[in-house]
Amino acid sequence: MVLDDPTTRPAPRSRARTDAPWQHDVEQDDLEHIGKPIRKVDARSKVSGLTRFADDLTLPRMLHMKLLRSTVAHAEIVHIDTRQAAALPGVKGVLTGKDLPIPFGILPVSQDEHALCPDRVRFVGDPVVAIAATEEETAWNACRLVEVEYRELRTIGGIHEAAANDEPRLHDYGVRGNIHRLENLEFGDLADGFAKADHVRQDTFFFEGNTHLPMEQHATLAHFDKDGKLTVWSSTQTPHYLHKALARTLHPLPAHHIRVIACPNGGGFGGKSDPFNHEIAAAKMSMLTGRPVKIALTREEVFWCHRGRHPVLMRAKVGVSKTGRITALDFHSYLDGGAYGSYGTASTFYTGALQTVTYAVDNYHFRGARFFTNKAPCGPKRGHGTPQPRFALEVQLDKIACDLGLDPARIRLDNLAPRDSLTANFLRIGSMGLGTCIEKVVAGSGWNTRRGKLGRQKNGRYRGLGLACSSYLSGAGLPIYWNGMPHSGVQLKLDRSGLVTAFCGSTDIGQGSDSVLGWIIGEVLGIDPLGIKVVTADTDLTPVDLGSYSSRVTVMTGNAAMQAAERARDIVADGVAAKLGVPAGRLVFAAERVFDSEDPAKGMTWQEAVCAAEAKSGTIGTVGSYSPPPSAAKFRGGGVGPSPSYSYSAAVVEVEVDAETGIYTVPKVWMAHDIGRALNAAVAMGQIEGSVYMGLGEAMMEEMAYRDRTHKGNRIFVHKIPSLLEYKSPTTLEMPEVVTYVVEDPDRNGPFGAKEVGQGPLLPMMPAVANAIFDAVGVRVDEVPVSFEKVFAALQAKQAGKEPRFGPANDATGVPAVDFGESLKIKTPWQGGDGTAWNEPKREKKAAK
């Protein structure tokens, strides 16, 4: 929005100095662009189909690559014969594991993947051979001519199996057997906490895995040119990490000869955050053939890439006072990691880390175990590791409210984690708007008058309401690989035409991060955001940003952009001040003008101002960067959980259940999301509605189910339904009416007070649906997805006079027996703790594998 009359502008705005970018002191109501529903900078090309995704790219003489993937779940590769394939007319290149011997992986602690499996396959879908040909069909046909001889190994099919079978190990690293990670952290005094409790509950839950299902299937185009430079265009959320993985696996190709360009992503949701085997193989294939090489994955292959939600078994014991105040929490999680490490170490910690950020938990014991199994590897999906425990705890809290005869909304309001506080596990909470969120959805849904009273409808179905809450990070406080450099960098170039170009490594995956850059820079410089040129996600041109994951971009890139823009403003102000003869401090930047606050008529256009500045200071370029504030958690494992700020969400879901069949629908959802400040409420609401949609899919139907059969002594273990038709996800018809509340509780660490948007509101959907089913028909489904047959089974149990519940056995048999060893004991802040564990053994520096 542009103000018509610049002379009505009020006095100059005071913005924070750039040395402490997380301490803005902005007058919130005095903003020109921030908070306004401006369209996204790339909106028109997106909706008119002009955006060029990776699969839209072609280059002259381009080859098409296909991967031959493992057809067995677990085996040693005895022999590969590619001679017939190589001889097929049209085939130009064949690669096997021998050609790419260097392992890689997103985390330095789990470099356990190969672009092509050299000697071992670990799930149906693991890539073994890459073939490039002049036609895609030829490459596919050639793959059918490859002979691979496998020696099958015993399959490890899930959490219980992995815990019970140490052999064969999927990997020769990890804790022991097929346990990848074990964490055991104890904060405060559990015995004391439970002793103070009037009521203790122990419940067991299971959250089945599910996948991201982005509309765009991953695609990569690689070109190794005659000058020895490699360019890789790819649908990736993390060009910087892909760049690192390419530099590692293509050794000795120098890192600075590699350029990664992240194309606009047609949806990512975490599924394009790992460096992938097909990306590395395409690059190598281009180096081998000297021709550009493209690979466009099939939908089935996207299921093999996976990195989605971990299946997690959970056992939670919670103690509460008579009034429902939590006194202690003992939480176990068991994660099915699939075949590789991926982000799994972080995922494991995330199943424990944020428990204390939503509600105050003074005494907290977390034990987490991640297992390797012969499934497509799990990793980060929207909410990364936190939706599973959120489901468990929000359903459990609902049960407690029921046990004690309390209102589920009240019990949550009474347990809120305090704002501006340190949690038991040393996470620093800043702004905290969960109370407001709860109040909004309670009022909107008519909770107080309708809950428990909807009952049987005219159509014979039963309605009910369920409530649940969540918190989520605004970016991880620590980078994925240890380094002291900034997490995000922005460069600005100011041109004589008045053009401002912003260069940044961040990747727009549809969430609007390119637009965020435009809005923030436009606001600081007083120019139209849609006139700013945004160049992102190109490792040759743009400074590093760690990537579009963990909801980090608005806060981190935003702060870096703000710093770069403020520095540019200072340079321009110098030039204008000299030309106009007014002190720089009196200048206002607004409405594409720079003018004197005391005499608004005295000023010049933005373009003139840039020219004046260039005349005075020379070519104008500035940089900005951002590193999150240091973490208070110093114990081992404390690196996962800290964030500059936390978003909050609360949801009320209404369901309608057909008690004869268990079939239910979700007619309406009320969702409130505290995002600190909406940089653009329209875009923020889009993110929130997207979360509702995605959460609804997880709640109702989505699952990575496996076929588990035995045939002639061999076990067949393969994803049941890797297709867009049969992997069930909601359609527009299942999408409920959504009432969205954007709650703004500004946080000092965010640009203009902004926090995370759009991961948090996914979390409450699953428990709110389960709680609503209980309100409607009085049965508990302690398992996600809450599918029709489970509701039906619970209803049948109820009819038969049994416990009206469907879920894993709620006793010691429900979870595997795992020796977690001795816990790390950490005194809470109120016990005088300093963030270290008092019994922590001296840390040895482990060499990365």
By beta-carbon proximity to other proteins, the closer residue of 70 and 356 is 70
Q: What φ, ψ does residue 218 adopt, rounded to 5°?
A: -55, 140
Does 799 participate in binding other proteins (rule CB under 8 A)?
Answer: no
Strands (E), 636-736: 646-657, 664-674, 706-711, 714-719
Q: Which stretch binds other proteins (CB under 8 A): 321-329, 351-359, 463-471, 659-667?
A: 659-667
In the numeric block, which tokens belong to residue 828?
């809470």
Query: What does the per-residue mask of binding to other proteins show for 689-708, with x meaning CB under 8 A?
Result: ------------x-----x-
Measured distance CA(639)–CA(466) in Å, rounded? 34
CA distances from 506 to 34, 241, 457, 535, 754 (A): 20, 12, 50, 9, 17
Measured distance CA(80)–CA(82) in Å, rounded? 6
Q: How many residues bind other proteins (CB under 8 A)?
A: 42
Does 722 participate in binding other proteins (rule CB under 8 A)?
Answer: yes
For the CB of residue 309, give the shortest distance to other proteins in the complex, in Å: 19
Nearest to 67 by CA among 106, 96, 102: 96
How many of the other CB atoms lie within 10 Å of CB of 457? 12
Does 726 participate in binding other proteins (rule CB under 8 A)?
Answer: yes
Does 733 participate in binding other proteins (rule CB under 8 A)?
Answer: yes
Does 730 participate in binding other proteins (rule CB under 8 A)?
Answer: yes
Does 460 participate in binding other proteins (rule CB under 8 A)?
Answer: no
Measured distance CA(704)–CA(381) in Å, rounded? 13
Contact 555, 473 (CB under 8 A): no
Does 819 participate in binding other proteins (rule CB under 8 A)?
Answer: no
Does 662 participate in binding other proteins (rule CB under 8 A)?
Answer: yes
Query: What does the per-residue mask of binding to other proteins show for 263-302, with x meaning CB under 8 A?
Result: ---------------------------------x-xxx--
Measured distance CA(646)–CA(429) in Å, rounded? 7
Subset of 403-442 contacting other proteins (CB under 8 A): none
Nearest to 522 by CA among 477, 480, 558: 558
For the CB of residue 390, give the shortest distance to other proteins in the complex, in Å: 25
Measured distance CA(383)–CA(366) in Å, rounded? 19
Q: What φ, ψ does residue 342 adopt, rounded to 5°?
A: 45, -135
For 551-590, give one letter per residue: b (16+ CB within 10 A) or e.
Answer: bbbbbbbbbbbbbbbbbbbebbbbbbbebbebebebbbbb
Does 234 participate in binding other proteins (rule CB under 8 A)?
Answer: no
Does 136 participate in binding other proteins (rule CB under 8 A)?
Answer: yes
Strand pairing class (230-234; 258-262)? parallel
Task: List helix spans (H) across 354-497.
Answer: 355-358, 387-404, 408-413, 434-445, 447-450
Does 716 participate in binding other proteins (rule CB under 8 A)?
Answer: yes
Q: Which stretch binds other proteins (CB under 8 A): 156-164, 582-590, 640-648, 655-663?
A: 655-663
Measured distance CA(383)–CA(250) in Å, rounded? 32
In the numeric block, which tokens belong to residue 56?
């839209």
Does 96 participate in binding other proteins (rule CB under 8 A)?
Answer: no
For the CB of residue 73, give the shortest distance to other proteins in the complex, in Å: 8
In the numeric block, which tokens belong to residue 15?
């913005």
For the CB of residue 789, give the shortest distance to other proteins in the complex, in Å: 4
Nearest to 285 by CA among 510, 100, 413: 100
Does 499 participate in binding other proteins (rule CB under 8 A)?
Answer: no
For the CB of residue 307, give the shortest distance to other proteins in the complex, in Å: 20
Measured distance CA(175)–CA(182) in Å, rounded? 7
Candidate list 661, 799, 831, 839; residue touching other proteins; CB under 8 A: 661
Does 137 participate in binding other proteins (rule CB under 8 A)?
Answer: yes
Peptide bond into 785 cis (omega under 30): yes
DSSP category for residue 14:
P
By beta-carbon proximity to other proteins, the closer residue of 135 and 403 is 135
Strand pairing class (326-336; 364-371)? parallel
Say which amino acid occupies 794: A
Q: Which stretch binds other proteins (CB under 8 A): 253-261, 492-500, 717-725, 759-767?
A: 717-725
Q: Which stretch binds other proteins (CB under 8 A): 309-317, 583-591, 726-734, 824-832?
A: 726-734
For the CB of residue 123, give the shortest distance to other proteins in the complex, in Å: 10
For the CB of residue 301, give the shortest distance to other proteins in the complex, in Å: 9
For the CB of residue 190, give the shortest distance to other proteins in the complex, in Å: 40
Does 847 participate in binding other proteins (rule CB under 8 A)?
Answer: no
Scan for tokens 């003992």, then name that residue: 330
Does 456 participate in binding other proteins (rule CB under 8 A)?
Answer: no
Query: What does the per-residue mask of binding to other proteins show for 201-230, with x meaning CB under 8 A?
Result: ----------------x-------------
Candidate list 15, 53, 90, 140; residue touching other proteins; CB under 8 A: 140
For the CB of residue 758, give the shortest distance to other proteins in the complex, in Å: 24
Candidate list 13, 24, 69, 827; residue touching other proteins; CB under 8 A: 69
Does 45 participate in binding other proteins (rule CB under 8 A)?
Answer: no
Measured distance CA(586)–CA(603) in Å, rounded? 11
**Taking the chain, what is the end-to-end CA distance rounded to the nearest angstrom?**
53
Candidate list 175, 413, 721, 739; residue touching other proteins; CB under 8 A: 721
Does 725 participate in binding other proteins (rule CB under 8 A)?
Answer: yes
Q: Is 262 left (phi over 0), alpha (psi -120 to 50) or beta?
A: beta
Does 74 participate in binding other proteins (rule CB under 8 A)?
Answer: no
For the CB of residue 65, give the shortest distance to other proteins in the complex, in Å: 12
Binding footprint of other proteins on the chain (CB under 8 A) = 55, 69-72, 124, 136-137, 140, 217, 296, 298-300, 660-663, 701, 707, 709, 711, 716, 718-723, 725-726, 728, 730-734, 787-789, 792-793
